[in-house]
Amino acid sequence: MSTTVCLDGFTANPGDLSWEQFQSLGTFINHDRTSATDLVSRSLEADALLTNKTVITADAIAQLPKLKYIGVLATGYNVVDTAAAKAHGVTVTNVPAYSTHSVAQLATGLMLELASRVGAHDRAVHDGQWVNCDDFCFTVAPLTELHGKTLGLIGFGQIGLAFARIAHAMGMNIIAANRSTLTPDRTGGLPITQVSVAEAFAQSDVLSLHCPLTDDTKHLVNAASLVTMKKTAFVLNTGRGPLVDAQALADALANGIIAGAGLDVLDAEPPQASDPLLTAPNCVITPHIAWDTREARTRLLDTAFKNLKAFKDGKPQNVVIG
């Protein structure tokens, strides 16, 4: 009998979705969370593992002789030692493009919060500031009209395109820095100007990161790049935390180098209490939730099931190793 073990199912399915389809493929065991010390013991009988953020190391793979398949419940698969998986004949799959519109939606929300300060004003009203105001209205921070402003995208995949469509509908100008040429079919017919990374930093009123994390892009947002930006500019990161040098961004916000930042990802997750961005001014932070809409999680589990079934049927799909 085939056995599939999900190592950390709680984040993708905290109880509002169903694992029933996975149970149709054999024995299915779900753990909300799995520590490094429990991983091997929980996985010994499994021929298939599902993981979101639980790290599957070379040492763990070597201790699991029955293991034939690892399904990553995410697009990024850096939690798996893929070289070890390949050496042991273990197929690894991922789930691409399941959260495109959800991530673009949250990026828009971060941008709008920085521009209109809805949350800050809501808190001020509920704290009694409007009740005690001498005038018919008040503001607690500068407000920005985004129409006519420039959105700069670093990286232009499906999420970048989805965000660009929203920004274009709002009347923003779009520029993008991307490794490959942006042809009209790649840009969905939108009027997007391709620029260098340096030009994106210099020209953007809102700079949004949508590139993969590599040795070249780690700390792409740093002290040197931030000083080239407009003092009125915002930085958004819904990609990977290490794209941003946290201390450099915190310093830039504290010193008025840029006007604000909206972040859904940080260097460490959950962050340390000492993370400088937690106390930086004009810094809006959400806890890595851009992907976490019910609709996106439904697509995630549906694709993860199809990946596993396709593997069992001898026709693997979305394979990254195998």
In angstroms, the Cα distances linking 138 to 28, 122, 284 are 56, 12, 21
- CA distance linking residue 90 with residue 69, whole number of Å: 5
Beta strands 91-93; 69-72: pairing state = parallel
- Asked if 64 and 40 count as a contact pair (C-beta separation under 8 A), the reply is yes
Beta strands 319-321; 283-285: pairing state = unpaired
In angstroms, the Cα distances linking 112 to 120, 245, 319 are 12, 23, 37
Catalytic residues: 240, 269, 288
Cα-Cα-Cα-Cα torsion 135, 136, 139, 145, nearest 10 degrees, comes to -140
H/E segment holding residue 297:
helix 294-312
- The SS3 assignment for 301 reads helix
The residue with tokens 């040197």 is 224
Sheet arrangement for strand 150-154: 192-194, 173-177, 150-154, 206-209, 234-237, 260-263, 283-285
221: how many CB neighbours lie within 10 A of its CB?
A: 24
H/E segment holding residue 201:
helix 197-203
Query: Concatenated DSSP letters for 221-261?
Result: B-HHHHTTS-TT-EEEE-S-GGGB-HHHHHHHHHTTSSSEE
